[in-house]
Amino acid sequence: MQLPRFLWVPFPLGRPFGAPHEPEFQRRVLRSALALLTRDRGPVLEDFPDDAPVAKEEVGDEGWSCPVSFAPVDDGRSTLVRAALDEVDRLQPWIEQREAAGQGGFGPVGSIAVRDVVEAFGAIVEGEATEVIGDGVPLQEWVRLGCDDLHAFAIEASKAQPGHASPAQREDWFWKQTALARLVGETASALVDHESLLVQALARRAMVPRVHMAELMPTVDPVI
Does 107 lie in the same domain as 49? Answer: no
pLDDT of amino acid 85: 94
Does 176 lie in the same domain as 148? Answer: yes
How far apart CA 88 and CA 105 sit, in angstroms, is 15
Count CA atoms within 13 Å of residue 42 on its CB side: 15
Burial class of 93 by CB neighbour count within 10 A (0 to 12, 13 to 18, 19+) = exposed
How far apart CA 32 and CA 43 sit, in angstroms, is 16
Does 204 lie in the same domain as 109? Answer: yes
Does 150 lie in the same domain as 43? Answer: no
Does 149 lie in the same domain as 42? Answer: no
Residue range of the domain that includes 46:
5-58
> Is 69 inside a domain boundary?
no
Report the 10 Å Cβ neighbour count for 152: 15
| Number of compact structural domains in the chain | 2
How big is the chain by its Cα radius of gyration, in Å?
19
pLDDT of amino acid 106: 64
β-bridge mates for residue 138, sequence order: 132
Does 30 lie in the same domain as 98? Answer: no
For residue 121, give the nearest of 161, 70, 87, 156 by alpha carbon: 87
pTM: 0.69
How far apart CA 212 and CA 31 sit, in angstroms, is 27
The answer for residues whose C-beta is within 8 angstroms of residue 56's C-beta and 6 or more apart is: 20, 21
Does 105 lie in the same domain as 28? Answer: no
Does 82 lie in the same domain as 29? Answer: no
Does 14 lie in the same domain as 46? Answer: yes
pLDDT of amino acid 129: 64
> Is 138 inside a domain boundary?
yes
For residue 180, give the nearest of 94, 71, 84 by alpha carbon: 84
Does 42 lie in the same domain as 111? Answer: no
> Is 190 inside a domain boundary?
yes
- Asked whether residue 33 carries a pLDDT value surpassing 90, the answer given is yes
For residue 36, give the nearest of 46, 48, 28 by alpha carbon: 46
Between 163-167, 184-188, 196-200, 220-224, the lowest mean confidence (pLDDT) is in 220-224
